[in-house]
Amino acid sequence: MDGDARPKKKPIARLLQETRIHQAKRKLVETTPTLTDISYEGGYADAVQSSRLFKEATGMTPTSYRESMATSPHDL
């Protein structure tokens, strides 16, 4: 132990990505725009990048997430 009891802070890029993923999850469930539209609204340059990061964070593609939430909603 290094004696530093301060909580570890997440890098701003990580916080931004988590926020974008959370917003995308909400929009995929609550609205009908395409993934491309959701990606651009979230600040991503393209849907491919957004989809890749979404899958890394959730283990599902955005389309699979939307479909699974339509049949059995869970916490966002």
Strands (DSSP E) contained in 2-75 are none
**According to the model, what pLDDT value does residue 33 have?**
94
pLDDT at position 39 is 94
CA dihedral sign, ordered 13, 40, 23, 55:
negative
Each residue's pLDDT tens digit, 37-64: 999 999 999 999 999 999 999 999 999 9
**What range does the domain containing 57 cover?**
18-71
Q: What does the alpha-carbon distance between residue 65 and residue 61 come to, in Å, rounded to a whole number?
A: 6
Asked if the structure places residue 28 within a domain, the reply is yes
Rounded to 10 degrees, the C-alpha dihedral 62/67/30/34 comes to 50
Compute CA 46 distance to the chain's CA centroid, rounded to the nearest angstrom: 14
Q: Is residue 6 part of a domain?
A: no
State the total domains in the chain. Answer: 1
CATH of the domain at 59: 1.10.10.60
Does residue 33 lie within any of the structural domains?
yes
Predicted TM-score of the model (pTM): 0.79
Tell whether the model's pLDDT for residue 72 goes beyond 90: no
